């Protein structure tokens, strides 16, 4: 091969293959996996060949004042091995997440420690596993082209970027006339602007984007009336309420419906979304969280209490789960532990974990309504809207967390027994998987003669080792619970 600073025939061959006409995203992601596996990707696209990442990073820097860059949250779309992030960090940006459908690319990026989070997912017309208004900026360099990002998936970027934020797209100019985008991409961009979802800040042609070919830089400012869901807001005023926290018949009715025999996860997620939308799932927790420190010191919080469906006097599972996690990790290490709260709901477990000194907690839940409510409490670093199931891989890289914890996620119509393998994949060797559930559910139709045998099978395979299985009283209502603790083993 000639000098790494020059354009080689091999570089051209790989780039041509990556953007091959007639390709499609799944095939392209597989190609990138093989390309990066050869350890030649970064060589073929060195900085003297591919200027797009530097151009993109500079476009982002021009949008945000230098004094604010340390607080800006960025989603790097089609992140690859981190070219854009390298330049962004040099320009003072600190909070960057990677989105890419190629696990191989993300693994290579992870070695460089450029990103806070690594999200393995396609940007297509399906909803990204990200809540709206998560980022201040979404940037893409090299993600547009044949077999890459569909033109009509840009709506997703508007959804996850806050109003006033930036969507920056950098691509090869000639791709506008390729079959995937010709008479489609720019008309779609214009339609989104006409409908008030974003506003074009600039459209610039730049030289030497890649292989001496021109590039295009689109900068769009997201507008307040973008593609958003209805917001679930805090109640604006405190109302004098009863301090009684007894179990109501309504509480029992909702809980019975949530774990109804024959339920399926999709239906259950829809039910939870409607439950939380009624503002009675955990309203006490929301209002208590809203009270400021002075109100708490003065005992003002008791004014916000009401009869709730899942108040702390009814549902002890989250406290039990958090205590189990605390017992596993030395207190001196709590602040450095990364935790995935599975079936996170509105954040009960996280509240207890935060009180015990844990700081890095992500939420995983299939109910957008639940996650929106949790987000209002600002308990989590990231919010991942996805099902935990056996057939679909979570949009999370392996060995991301030190701990995965579940309270309330096991039961009819909830987490399938054979999806626990996914938790082993995302928890580091030596880490903890903690499952807290109602003891009676071990014998429900979804788990009877399946759940515990599957747990044992995973242990026999050497994937994890049981630390303890403990029955606890008053998990929820007057029902006993069971706490499973497993140590993940080297794979």
pLDDT digits (tens, 9 = 90+) for 2-27: 334 445 676 666 666 666 666 666 77
Phi, psi of 61 (to 5 degrees): -60, -35
The pLDDT of residue 244 is: 32
pLDDT in tens, 28-72: 777 777 676 766 665 656 666 788 899 999 999 999 999 999 999
Res 228 pLDDT > 50: no
Q: Could you give the percent of the chain with pLDDT greater than 90?
A: 45
237-247 pLDDT, tens digit each: 222 222 233 44
In this structure, the number of other CB atoms found within 10 A of the CB of residue 484 comes to: 22
Taking CA atoms, 491 is separated from 70, 388, 399, 402, 430, in Å, by: 37, 21, 10, 15, 11
pLDDT of residue 306: 31
pLDDT digits (tens, 9 = 90+) for 324-361: 999 999 988 999 999 999 999 889 999 999 989 999 99
Distance CA(180)–CA(144), nearest Å, equals 10
pLDDT value of position 51: 87
CA 275 to chain centre: 22
Write out the two tokens for 18.
């990556």
- Range with the lowest mean pLDDT among 5-14, 49-58, 293-302, 306-315? 293-302
Q: What is the structure's pLDDT at 313?
A: 59
Q: Which domains does the chain have, with CATH numbers?
A: 9-222 (3.40.50.150), 235-491 (3.40.50.150)
Better-predicted residue by pLDDT, 107 or 287: 107
pLDDT at 347 (0 to 100): 92
Query: 402, 398, 380, 379: which is closest to 330 by C-alpha?
Result: 402
Instruction: Give me the pLDDT at residue 74, please.
Output: 97
Residues 367-381 have a mean pLDDT of 89
Tell me the CA distances in angstroms from 459 to 220, 415, 442, one per residue in order: 51, 19, 18
Tokens representing 82 are 């981190």
Place of tokens 């499609």: 24
Q: State the pLDDT confidence band at 446, using cuts at 50, 70 and 90.
A: confident
- This prediction has a pTM of 0.52
Each residue's pLDDT tens digit, 118-166: 998 888 877 788 888 999 999 999 888 877 888 989 999 999 999 999 9
Average pLDDT of 188-192? 92
């Amino acid at each position: 091969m000639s000098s790494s600073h020059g354009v080689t025939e091999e570089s051209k061959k790989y780039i041509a293959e990556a953007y091959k006409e007639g390709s499609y995203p799944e095939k392209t992601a597989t190609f990138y996996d093989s390309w990066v596996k050869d350890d030649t990707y970064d060589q073929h696209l060195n900085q003297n060949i591919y200027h797009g990442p530097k151009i993109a990073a500079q476009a982002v820097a021009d949008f945000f004042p230098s004094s604010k860059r340390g607080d800006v949250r960025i989603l790097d779309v089609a992140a690859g091995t981190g070219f854009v992030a390298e330049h962004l960090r040099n320009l003072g940006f600190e909070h960057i997440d990677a989105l890419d459908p190629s696990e191989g690319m993300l693994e290579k990026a992870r070695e460089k420690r450029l990103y806070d989070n690594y999200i393995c997912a396609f940007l297509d017309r399906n909803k990204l596993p990200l809540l709206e208004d998560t980022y201040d900026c979404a940037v893409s360099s090299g993600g547009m082209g044949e077999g890459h990002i569909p033109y009509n998936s840009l709506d997703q970027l508007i959804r996850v970027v806050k109003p006033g934020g930036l969507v920056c797209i950098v691509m090869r100019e000639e791709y506008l006339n390729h079959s995937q985008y010709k008479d489609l991409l720019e008309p779609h961009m214009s339609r989104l602007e006409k409908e008030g979802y974003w506003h074009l800040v600039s459209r610039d042609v730049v030289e030497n984007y890649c292989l001496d070919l021109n590039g295009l830089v689109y900068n769009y400012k997201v507008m307040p009336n973008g593609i958003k869901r209805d917001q679930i807001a805090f109640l604006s005023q405190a109302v004098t309420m009863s301090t009684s926290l007894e179990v109501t018949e309504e509480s029992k009715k909702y809980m019975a419906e949530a774990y109804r025999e024959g339920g399926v996860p999709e239906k259950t997620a829809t039910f939870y979304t409607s439950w939380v939308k009624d503002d009675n799932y955990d309203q006490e927790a929301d209002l208590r969280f809203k009270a400021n420190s002075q109100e708490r010191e003065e005992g003002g919080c008791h004014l916000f209490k009401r009869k709730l469906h899942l108040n702390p006097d009814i549902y002890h599972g989250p406290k039990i789960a958090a205590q189990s996690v605390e017992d596993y990790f030395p207190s001196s290490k709590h602040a450095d532990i990364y935790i995935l709260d599975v079936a996170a709901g509105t954040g009960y477990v996280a509240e207890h974990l935060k009180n015990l000194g844990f700081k890095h907690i992500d939420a995983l839940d299939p109910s957008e309504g639940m996650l929106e409510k949790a987000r209002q409490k600002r308990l989590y670093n990231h919010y991942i809207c996805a099902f935990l199931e056996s057939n679909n891989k979570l949009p999370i890289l392996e060995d991301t967390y030190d701990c995965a914890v579940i309270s309330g996620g096991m039961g009819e119509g909830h987490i399938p027994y054979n999806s626990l393998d996914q938790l082993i994949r995302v928890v580091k060797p030596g880490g903890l998987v903690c499952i807290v559930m109602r003891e009676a559910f071990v014998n429900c139709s979804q788990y009877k003669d399946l759940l515990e045998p599957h747990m044992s099978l995973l242990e026999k395979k050497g994937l994890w080792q049981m630390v303890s299985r403990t029955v606890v009283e008053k998990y929820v209502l007057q029902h006993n619970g069971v706490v499973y603790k497993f140590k993940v083993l080297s794979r």
